[in-house]
Chains A and B, each alone.
Chain A
């Protein structure tokens, strides 16, 4: 059930709450939280902000989001050694990432790409997907 396709409509259902929650966490206006803005490069988010956003989103949506959940969601059922080696995404891993973050323009993906660079790609839409996946997992339990 958690593997169901996430549509734009699904995303727009959760986006208003994600937008408000992220604005509170980052101390910016809600209007600054566009679906496709890069959280790190566009809104100066740091690692503590990601922790804060996930923490607030968990409470806002009453779901549990394990730390590192986005990368887990990206990898899905792919074995770790197929997904990345020595902290660098494999070709298969990078293809999986492009597929998961289909909304991100192709030029923003580097090749090779380190796992710790993935967060630079995150947008509010990434977090919407994370919440929808967590909701589906919770509903399936």
Chain B
């Protein structure tokens, strides 16, 4: 692969074409997951929806600011996409100004919903801190006209996790795992070119990978992520950072049989930098909801 294909506008970009912009109300787009990708975390579907919203937000403020992940109130997961799938993306914008964008969105595959984002807020920050506004303006023009070639995204490495503590009878009330954020990775070239930051959606994926087996071990059956609420990203994570990911013991959700909520978070140097509530349902009950 040529160098440029894993750099900016490729290594962590999840909109191939913006198909329609209805003022500052609604925007739609598409992204095809390359069949060559072996691993496409479900959190990257949320990333794709967020990036579609980000393009419109940046355009609206004349590329002076860009939104970054801050709050995601409620994310519903209906299906895990597969390599080769084309995501049909939609965003409904509630408000957008130089401080924040508030939106909801969803992704479908062949018109079947796979993930829905509700109550999402991105903080707008000075665009010059992250990227070259002129290049972004050019990329936006490309996305809204011909689109870019699909298949540029070549995947992300699976997170490297090291268990530190696991709940035991009478022992710690949850589990802790160490995540070593790589010092170098292709996605840093794209997220973001002027300030490499570990993507919050990859952190979320790592948290899911910590919490899911922990939940299965605790409740004694196979589960899958069905919902994520209360996502709050408090700080940027630089390349090379060591994070402690933690998950509290699963709690059965009232009125939702076979569903458990796990409060998770990430600490860096003793400070909590992100948190979320992950919901897991037995795979049987998930299938019955479809």
> What's the least CB distance linking A24 to chain B, in Å?
8
Whether the Cβ atoms of B99 and A68 lie closer than 8 Å is yes
Q: Which residues of B contact A137 (CB under 8 A)?
A: none
* Alpha-carbon gap, A67 to B101, bound state (A): 11
Whether the Cβ atoms of B275 and A55 lie closer than 8 Å is no
Whether the Cβ atoms of A51 and B121 lie closer than 8 Å is yes
- 27 A-B pairs in the complex with CB atoms less than 8 angstroms apart: A24-B230, A27-B275, A46-B234, A48-B70, A48-B71, A48-B123, A48-B232, A48-B233, A48-B234, A49-B232, A51-B70, A51-B71, A51-B123, A52-B71, A52-B232, A55-B71, A55-B73, A55-B102, A55-B119, A55-B121, A56-B73, A59-B119, A64-B95, A67-B97, A67-B99, A67-B100, A68-B99
Residue numbers of A with Cβ under 8 A of B are: 24, 27, 46, 48-49, 51-52, 55-56, 59, 64, 67-68
Q: Which residues of B contact A49 (CB under 8 A)?
A: 232
Partner of B100, one of A46, A51, A59, A64: A51
| Interface members, chain B 114-149 (any A CB < 8 Å) | 119, 121, 123
| Interface members, chain B 22-79 (any A CB < 8 Å) | 70-71, 73
> What's the least CB distance linking A70 to chain B, in Å?
14
B102 to chain A: closest residue by CB:
A55
Q: Which residues of A contact B121 (CB under 8 A)?
A: 51, 55
Besides A55-B71, A59-B119, 8 more A-B contacts (Cβ < 8 Å) are A48-B123, A48-B232, A51-B71, A51-B121, A51-B123, A52-B71, A55-B119, A64-B95
> What's the least CB distance linking B269 to chain A, in Å?
15
